[in-house]
Amino acid sequence: MSEIELGPTRPLVPPLYCSAVYSFPDLDALEAVYRGQVSGFVYARDAHPNAVSLARSLASWESAKWCMVTASGMAALALTLMALLRAGDVVVASRRLYGRTLQLLTEELPRWQVHTYLVDLDDTAALAAALARRPRLVLVETLSNPTLRLADIPRLAQLCHEVGAHLLVDNTFATPVLCQPLRLGADFVVESLTKMLAGHSDVTLGAAFGREDEAWERLRRVCTIFGWTGNPFDCWLAERGLQTLAVRMQQASRTAQALADWLAQHPRIRRVIYPGRPDHPDHDLARRLFSGNYGNMLSIELAGGREAVNQFLRRQDKIVLAPSLGDVRTICTHPASTSHRYAPPEENAREGITDGLLRISVGLEPLEELQEAFRRGLDFADA
């Protein structure tokens, strides 16, 4: 295929480079690219223009020195763990982690002789005891699912560094609009771009971030060798989504706050969990660590349990059941049936993950439309 001449013009929108491989005019050119003397690409699993461009935009968002784009959020976690850990290492992690992350830590990593101690971050004594085991890595989420508890990142970073551990933060629920963990002392960050960052539920991607060149070389190598690179089209879509991240998050946060306050007054709602409300256990921490927005995620407990949730879903079709988050439209999930399905019942009871609990990912609809959906969804007699 002959090259198209653009003359002095340039496309306003970054091109999509689907090519899995790049060609060279001669051996000298190939040599110069391999040695890094001139810029260029070789093979898309190693690097491609859409991933490099996306990584640049993302690194700036997270105040990171580097960013590696991966094929999913889980790939970003696997990459970071595989690149940094070795057999015999200990990991300390929050008990309240994304389900697949818990499986990765407790079911897969032991096969590589890496052992994880799960702790309740509220339990200072348990945390101190776990840190005394000299972990190489401590893993927490900025905002946990579905009870939206915050990690005190500055304090954790200090405790980690005292024992020589790295702090890795999964920032997916908060996004860099609310919080930039690397600025608060964390050493590494991972994000699922599948959620709010790409923002339209049409992409599966992740990213790992850090601030040391040494770790960057390790991650780049491991990503290429294990083959966790993200594909060009998804990177292109994610970069497009990223253009509106700030306005989407600000708008959704405003709506979520108003909706949370409104729902707290509703007779069929037993409990509202939102970090922007003074009755949230981590509200003061959220005021300190977050940018002034409290995010698009909120959880509510319907009086009437599972049947009330079913009624809510059947009586309105605006807020659909879809187990993800961060979309432009408001969606909800039922943690007891999905993310916390296999958790021990006594643990779910302690966390308040009941059959009536719904997690709402607020989108960009006007507040009134969502209120109307809740009015319709909650308008039944047998509550």
Ligand X SMILES: *Cc1c(COP(=O)(O)O)cnc(C)c1O
Coil/strand/helix, residue 236:
helix
Least separation, in Å, of the C-beta of 37 and ligand X? 36
Of 290 and 374, which CB lies nearer to ligand X in the complex structure? 290
Q: Which is nearer to ligand X, 50 or 72 (CB)?
A: 72
200 burial level (CB within 10 Å; 0-12, 13-18, 19+): middle
Among candidate residues 17, 98, 117, 294, the one labeled active-site is 98
166-185 residues in contact with ligand X (CB under 6 A) are 170, 172-173
Catalytic-residue membership of 45: yes
In angstroms, rounded to a whole number, what is the distance separating the alpha carbons of residues 127 and 379? Answer: 45
Whether 198 and 219 have beta carbons less than 8 Å apart is answered as no
Side by side, the strands of the sheet bearing 331-333 are 269-273, 297-302, 357-361, 331-333, 320-321
- Total residues interacting with ligand X, rule: CB under 6 A: 14
User: Smallest distance, Å, CB 125 to ligand X?
Assistant: 26
Distance of CA 133 to the CA centre of its chain: 28
Shorter beta-carbon distance to ligand X: residue 272 or 297: 297
Give the active site residue among 45, 155, 218, 306: 45
* Residue 192 binding ligand X, by CB under 6 A: yes
Chain residue whose CB lies nearest ligand X: 73
Q: Among 342, 326, 328, which residue's Cα sits nearest to residue 206?
A: 326
Q: How far is the CB of 203 from ligand X (least distance, A)?
A: 9
Interface positions, 125-164, toward ligand X (CB under 6 A):
141
With CB under 6 A as the contact rule, which of the stretches 12-20, 115-123, 190-198, 349-357 interacts with ligand X?
190-198
Q: How far is the CB of 338 from ligand X (least distance, A)?
A: 12
Q: Is 261 a catalytic residue?
A: no
CA 380 to the chain's CA centroid:
35
Instruction: Tell me which of 96, 136, 149, 170 is the catalytic residue.
Output: 170
Q: Which string of DSSP letters, residue by residue, matches 82-104?
A: HHH--TT-EEEEESS--HHHHHI
Minimum distance between the CB of residue 151 and ligand X, rounded to whole angstroms? Answer: 12
Give CA torsion, residues 78, 79, 81, 83, to 10 deg.
Answer: 150
The catalytically annotated residue of 96, 136, 149, 195 is 195
Cα 124-282-119 angle, rounded to 5 deg: 30
Look at the block and give the residue holding tokens 């971030």.
209
Residues 79-108 as x/- pattern, contact with ligand X by CB under 6 A: -------------------x--x-------
Query: Is residue 206 at the binding interface for ligand X, with CB under 6 A as the rule?
Result: yes
Q: What is the 3-state secondary structure (H, E, C) of 122-152?
A: CCHHHHHHHHCCCCCEEEEECECCCCCCECC
318 in catalytic set:
no
- How far is it, in rounded angstroms, from Cα 38 to Cα 24? 12
98 among known catalytic residues = yes
Binding mask 39-78 for ligand X (x = CB under 6 A): ---------------------------------xxx----
Instruction: Write out the residues near ligand X by the rule CB under 6 A.
Output: 72-74, 98, 101, 141, 170, 172-173, 192, 194-195, 204, 206
Q: Which residues are known catalytic residues?
A: 45, 98, 170, 195
